[in-house]
Structure 1
Amino acid sequence: MTEIIIRDAREADFARIVELNAMEVQQTSSMDRQRLIELAQLASYHKVAIVNGRVAAFILAMKENVPYQNDNYAWFAMRLREFIYVDRIVVDSAFSGLKIGSRIYAELFDFARVHGMSYIACEYNIQPPNPASKKFHDKFGFQELGTQWLANGTKEVSLQAAKV
């Protein structure tokens, strides 16, 4: 049986987190070590999933009212009072089938409940399409609140929220 441990991210994990992000950059956005340090300082929820001693996944999420300069975060900040915004979640495809993303999200929902947050917010690409992310978020009760074009009109995202 494979042991999966979800814990707070540490600086020692940062090289692997940057590597994982690079593997899925078409679905997230680029992030070098310096950018990760900046995001980690804003994050209220920054976890990694460890499988057999290796970082297999990570999540970065920010509560409302942090000075995060991001179009999607700003969109939610204009519409929701209490929320935590999932900036990115990445699971190494080598570990697919272990339901790591689902475990991370289950813990995120618990965190949001304990801290009195009303919504978990996120976005995923609809142009270019990301059907895996849509299916994953549908499972957790996320609903589309709107859409917006980003990256000079090359990417359209579905802005999603789930009631905690």
Structure 2
Amino acid sequence: MIGSASVATFIEPAKALLLAFEQTDNYDGIHFKWFQSRYDRFLYVDRVVVSEEHRSHGYGRMLYADLFTRAEKLGHNCIVCEVNMQPSNPGSDRFHSAQGFREVGRATIDSGAKAVRYLLWHR
């Protein structure tokens, strides 16, 4: 997965990582496909992981700041992602809202066991 991502950013040693895919990347994730069917050009944030002992140190903000810079260099003005509603993820909601993301859709999957909000950041 790391090898096929257009953006793979790490904060060493094993503190945090971010993976993002361009709309033309060979990736078959259901949420990626949702965005692909609606937007012509975007970077899709598939994964952001911050190790538990390194949370609340600003690593997520650092990863996203780097992503915004990379998006501009790659010619993207849209960055998209999804955030869980069920089970809820209020920390991610607050984080993405503070970064300027807004909701553009919702989906329920896994027979109702999971629900997500689709988010868009636009420069």
Q: Which runs of 4+ in 1 moved over 3 A?
A: none
Uncovered stretches (5+) of structure 1, i.e. residues with no partner: 1-38
- Within the alignment, does 1:94 sit opposite 2:53 as a pair? yes
- Within the alignment, does 1:45 sit opposite 2:7 as a pair? yes
Partner of 1:79: 38
Which structure has more relative contact order (CA 8 Å, sep 6+)? It is 2
State the structure with more CA Rg.
1
Uncovered stretches (5+) of structure 2, i.e. residues with no partner: none
- Within the alignment, does 1:70 sit opposite 2:29 as a pair? yes
- Within the alignment, does 1:121 sit opposite 2:83 as a pair? no
Partner of 2:69: 110
Alignment of 1:18-33 (within 5 A): none
How far the C-alpha of 1:42 sits from its partner, in A, is 2.1
| Rounded Cα–Cα distance in structure 2 between residues aligned with 1:82 and 1:110 | 16
How far the C-alpha of 1:40 sits from its partner, in A, is 1.7
Per-residue CA deviation, residues 94-139 of structure 1 (Å, 9 max, x unaligned), is 1122100000000000000111112110001011110000000001
| Rounded Cα–Cα distance in structure 1 between residues aligned with 2:76 and 2:49 | 23
2:115 match: secondary structure:
strand
Partner of 2:16: 57
Amino acid at match of 1:107: D
TM-score in terms of structure 2 length: 0.95
| Rounded Cα–Cα distance in structure 2 between residues aligned with 1:81 and 1:133 | 26
Amino acid at match of 1:49: I
Amino acid at match of 2:97: D
Partner of 1:162: 121
- Contact kept? 2:6, 2:25, Cα under 8 Å: no
- Within the alignment, does 1:140 sit opposite 2:95 as a pair? no
Between the two proteins, the alignment pairs up a number of residues equal to 123
